[in-house]
Amino acid sequence: MNQPSFFVFPRWANRFTKIALVCVLLLPVYVVALLYYGANARTLNVGYQPVQPVAYSHALHAGTLGISCLYCHSDVARAAFAAIPPTQTCMNCHQMIAPQSRSLQLVRDSYGTGNPKLAGLPIAWKKVNMLPDYVYFNHAAHVHAGISCLVCHGHVNEMTQVYQARPLNMAWCLSCHRHPEPYLRPRNEVTNLNWTPKNKPRLAQDLGLTVATLPKNLGKYLMGRYHIANAKILTDCETCHR
Ligand code: HEC
Ligand code: HEC
Ligand code: HEC
Ligand code: HEC
Ligand code: HEC
């Protein structure tokens, strides 16, 4: 008597051996791709916080010491890129302040007063916020429109180590471009991350008005005063993809 047929693998099952083999061969490719895209800053999102070569703290410098963002990121108001300050900017203070500190060793190396092999080489700061190359972005346009660093970077003045605070994806950009009014503030308060519209005398001063003549709707008023483009232009594909 023949064996019952369910003990015998049907002939098509042989194909699985080949498929399994192909899978095993492709596994390394898959793992490499996963690591590449997973570790690529562009695809990492909110909370991305690379460890920086120097333990520089915004909470100390921009928070406690109250150094203006513009002292180090002076290009934000002028250029598309905000730029990380050169070592010279750090040494303006650190030639005198904590000159022997071990945590400033790489700063001195870069400046030329440490390891001579590293003299003149910039500090290898890791980029935190990053858009894909096919997206056009411009800091100056936003700073001039009265959009604070706070809206896009969070409370940097309280961060010991900077992290990405917002998603920076297309939906996020568009949600503001459709309706920017609530995010607008006087231009000269853009780098003041603790600004509040509730301080009426200061607001009046910022705008060159009196408390009595302050507009009821600040956002609407600034849309006109800063000549902000309408939502049709701001949501046009050409604005961000050129
Ligand atoms: C004393 C100089 C200094 C001051 C003042 C300063 N920064 Fe920075 N900033 C740096 C340095 C250096 C880096 C790069 C290292 C790092 O990410 O911590 C940086 C990085 C950043 C980044 C991340 C850049 C990236 O790679 O995406 C943001 C955002 C930022 N700063 C915003 C601010 C804001 C907002 C203020 C004002 C509240 C400010 N900074 C004040 C020196 C400064
Ligand atoms: C306007 C002056 C000023 C500038 C500019 C400045 N710092 Fe500082 N920094 C200070 C002061 C003040 C301290 C606190 C020193 C202390 O606690 O003894 C400090 C502390 C530090 C410390 C901690 C030192 C330690 O021993 O604990 C590091 C690291 C540091 N700064 C890095 C930087 C870097 C990097 C830059 C440039 C991007 C920079 N600083 C620019 C004033 C400045
Ligand atoms: C409308 C959102 C927005 C505002 C407002 C904004 N930033 Fe940025 N910032 C970004 C984005 C997006 C990037 C990443 C840009 C890229 O990769 O091309 C970035 C990058 C940076 C960088 C890294 C260098 C660079 O240019 O790529 C620094 C430093 C920085 N911002 C500082 C600031 C400071 C300081 C302010 C306030 C004066 C500010 N930003 C206001 C969105 C913003
Ligand atoms: C909180 C509000 C807000 C966010 C978030 C925002 N923007 Fe804008 N953006 C504006 C405003 C307001 C203007 C208009 C400036 C004007 O008309 O003067 C603008 C203008 C622009 C322009 C035109 C600049 C020029 O040179 O004409 C570009 C490009 C742009 N934004 C890209 C982006 C991208 C990309 C993102 C997301 C990563 C983004 N924006 C996020 C408010 C915002
Ligand atoms: C305010 C700026 C802005 C405008 C306007 C805009 N985009 Fe984008 N777009 C972005 C950003 C930022 C990204 C990057 C998304 C990311 O990294 O997640 C993006 C990504 C994309 C991608 C890549 C797909 C993806 O999700 O990664 C496509 C396709 C695209 N945009 C098409 C368009 C089209 C079509 C329009 C017009 C209807 C448009 N965009 C208008 C900012 C904008």
Q: What confidence tens digit (pLDDT) does each residue in 166-200 have?
A: 999 999 999 999 999 999 999 999 999 999 999 99
Backbone angles phi, psi at 45, to 5 degrees: -120, -155
Q: Which residues contact 190 (CB under 8 A, 6 or more apart)?
A: 143, 146, 147, 148, 149
- Tens place of pLDDT for every residue, the chain, 242 residues? 455 555 566 676 677 667 666 666 776 665 555 445 544 445 458 999 999 999 999 999 999 999 999 999 998 887 888 899 999 999 999 999 999 999 999 999 999 999 999 999 999 999 999 999 999 999 999 999 999 999 999 999 999 999 999 999 999 999 999 999 999 999 999 999 999 999 999 999 999 999 999 999 999 999 999 999 999 999 999 999 98
The number of angstroms, rounded, from the C-alpha of 28 to the middle of its chain's C-alpha atoms is: 32
Q: 31 alpha carbon to ligand 3 midpoint, in Å?
A: 32
Q: Which amino acid is at 99?
A: P
Residue 217: C-alpha distances to residues 18, 122, 181, 197, 224 (Å): 69, 46, 9, 11, 11
Q: Which residues contact 3 (CB under 8 A, 6 or more apart)?
A: none
CA distance 63 to 191: 12
Q: Which residues contact 15 (CB under 8 A, 6 or more apart)?
A: none
Give the mutation target among 67, 102, 104 for probing the ligand 2 site: most ligand atoms within 8 A of CB: 104
CA distance 141 to 125: 25
Query: Looking at ligand 3, which residue's alpha carbon is closest to its atom 20?
Result: 129
Residue range 93-108, pLDDT digits in tens? 999 999 999 999 999 9
Give the mutation target among 236, 241, 242 for probing the ligand 5 site: most ligand atoms within 8 A of CB: 241
| pLDDT of the residue at 65 | 98
Please identify, by atom number, the ligand 3 atom nearest to the C-alpha of residue 82. Answer: 26
